[in-house]
Structure 1
Amino acid sequence: MSRVVGIDHLVIRVSDYEKSRQFYGRLFEFLGFKISEEYQDATGWSNGNTLFWIGRADDQGQKHKHRTGDVGFHHYAFRLRSRKDVDELEAFLKNDLHATIVDPAGEYYDDYYAVFFLDPDGLKLEGMKYGERTAKAK
């Protein structure tokens, strides 16, 4: 029987490729990713474990914007090393990237600390750390 050993990559379609490439390029540089491959209509970034790609939406896809609540993508979470990293990401998002923060850094579940934000198309992203307090208590 086949077994999944990890998620290889995620690909999202974007309405304004250059705008999104700049947004994700700055975000991923901050998060320690580097461009792994680049084509005329697609760019992929990797940190050695995770691959994240953007690609240009076709003409039909650009006719309707993403709407939270539709079938499909809900959000993508980047697991960070610490709560401090979550706070640093939030500061970068606000001060450097000028991203829309939809839920500020805070505790959303027991020992689950996160910040939620939007990309240029309104796709929801998250930087999170789970279990830091529990690990320190042991």
Structure 2
Amino acid sequence: METQEVYRGRLIDHIQLVVQDLAASQTFYTAIFDALNIPMGGTGDGFFWADELFVSTSNSEAAQGILTGRHHLAFQARDRAMVDAFYQAALAHGGRDNGAPGERGYHPGYYAAFVLDPDGNNIEAVYHGEANRSTPAVRITF
């Protein structure tokens, strides 16, 4: 994998999930990323990636050490409709319901949906309500 340009400016640099069935996970994540308007980054030997998320098999070179348990990932959505689209895409592509779209009590305007991916990871899409950003991301080229 050769990356010449990345966008940074968020808290997390990258996350790697180790999964049992790479094809099932790729189908699931491709569908929810399409709903969230996040382009797939590419594939490699035993892994695929999008933005700062890498998903691999346990025998991938990138998956070293003892395998861990279930994880929670939350992806940002631009609006409530995008959260709804994420939820529907996830359920149609191997995800299981873990909390239908709706307001949550975390703060006013917190609208989210939760699904379990094919490996049982808790995946969320959240819209925090109206907000202004100074910039969508920082562009870095190598």
TM value normalised by structure 2: 0.69
Q: 1:81 aligns with which of 69, 78, 81?
A: 78
Higher relative contact order (CA 8 A, sep 6+): 2
Displacement after TM superposition at 1:31 (Å):
2.1
> 5+ unaligned residues in a row in structure 2: which ranges?
1-7, 133-142
| Structure 1 residue ranges (4+ consecutive) displaced by more than 6 angstroms after TM superposition | none
Larger strand proportion, structure 1 or 2?
1
Separation of aligned partners in 2, 1:54 and 1:26 = 15
Partner of 1:116: 114
| 1:100 and 2:96 aligned | yes
What amino acid sits opposite 1:107 in the alignment? E
CA shift for structure 1 position 54: 0.1
**Identity among equivalent pairs (%):** 28
Is the CA contact (8 Å cut-off) linking 1:66 and 1:121 kept in structure 2? no
Partner of 2:101, secondary structure, is strand
Counterpart check, 1:53 vs 2:58: no
Quote the Cα distance in structure 2 between the aligned partners of 1:27 and 1:88. Answer: 8
Distance 1:5 1:113 in 2: 23
- Count residues in correspondence: 118
Gaps of 5+ in 1: 68-72
TM-score (norm 1): 0.71
Q: CA deviation at 1:5?
A: 4.7
* Aligned residue among 12, 28, 36 for 2:17: 12
What is the root-mean-square deviation in Å for CA atoms of aligned residues? 2.8
Aligned to 1:70: none
Higher helix share: 1
C-alpha distance 93-19 of structure 1, shift in aligned 2 (>3 A): closer
Structure 1 pair 131–66 and aligned structure 2 pair: CA distance change class (3 A): same
Is the partner of 1:35 in helix, strand or coil? Answer: coil
Letter of the 1:54 partner, please give it. Answer: V
Distance between the aligned counterparts of 2:100 and 2:93, measured in 1? 15
